[in-house]
Amino acid sequence: MVGVVNLTVSDHVRSHFPNYQAIVVTVRGVESGPSDAQSIGMLREAEVRARARLGSGVPNSLPEIAAWRATTSEFGCKPSRFPCSAEALLKRVARGEELPAINRLVDIYNAISAAYAIPLGGEDLDCVHGEVVLMPARGGEDFDGGDPPRPGEIVWCDDLGVTCRAWNWRQGIRTRITDTSSNVYFLLEAIEEHGAMSLEAASTELRSHLRAAEMQTMRLP
């Protein structure tokens, strides 16, 4: 059913990646729209926080990022080619670049992702069809954000196809949060203890910046 979120972790992922943890924040009637002073300010603040953690190092020197790189290698993808979303943001910061302003909600979750060095994504609930499952790809599934996934690659899928490739590398287009999204869910992920310790703090900070009619939080798996 469109507009209802039901996220599931497959038995394969549970057994092969037992340290995986995630928090899902579902919001309805959220105030969306173009980037504004608040969301852009969050991006600039996140850059300062991320640089303080990175120092003179590179993103993969952080334990949270190193753990995701190892996980990406384990399911058969090169981490240099398929970095997790948090590493991609931190690479920009390490190069001295600004985090890009996309729209209000994406700015908020990207800022928190960079500040905590944990993958954090969001999807438009009204564009999701059926159950959303974290599972190994057969290979060749429909993905509107680029090339189809490889066999064995860990992906998020709903009934219509892959919504995110390489676990948390690249989202598809269909379910992306836009300026007009009003019902969405955010997914915060960790694969080891350092990231797991940040999940609660990051989700609390995320909720504090959301203006929504209804908000719910649950843990996966």
Q: What is the mean pLDDT of each run of 10 residues along the chain (221 residues)?
A: 73 96 96 96 98 94 96 97 98 97 98 98 96 96 95 97 98 97 97 89 96 91 77
Measure the CA–CA gap between 21 and 190, rounded to whole angstroms.
5
Neighbouring residues of 204: CB distance < 8 A, sequence distance ≥ 6: none
Strand partners, 24: 187, 218
DSSP 24-74: EEEEES----S--HHHHHHHHHHHHHHHHHHTTS-GGGSHHHHHHHHHHHH
pLDDT value at residue 4: 53
From residue 192, alpha-carbon distances to 12, 107, 189, 220 in Å are: 18, 25, 10, 14
- What pLDDT, on the 0 to 100 scale, is given for residue 150? 95
**Strand pairing report for 170-171 and 7-9:** unpaired
The model's pTM is 0.95
For residues 144 and 162, give the distance between their C-alpha atoms in angstroms, rounded to a whole number.
Answer: 8
Lookup: tokens for 178: 């836009």
**∠ CA(81), CA(152), CA(163), 5° rounding?**
70
**Residue 185 CA neighbour count, 13 Å, CB half:** 24
All domains in the chain, ordered by first residue: 7-220 (3.50.40.10)
pLDDT confidence of residue 125: 96
CA 64 to CA 59: how far, in whole Å?
9
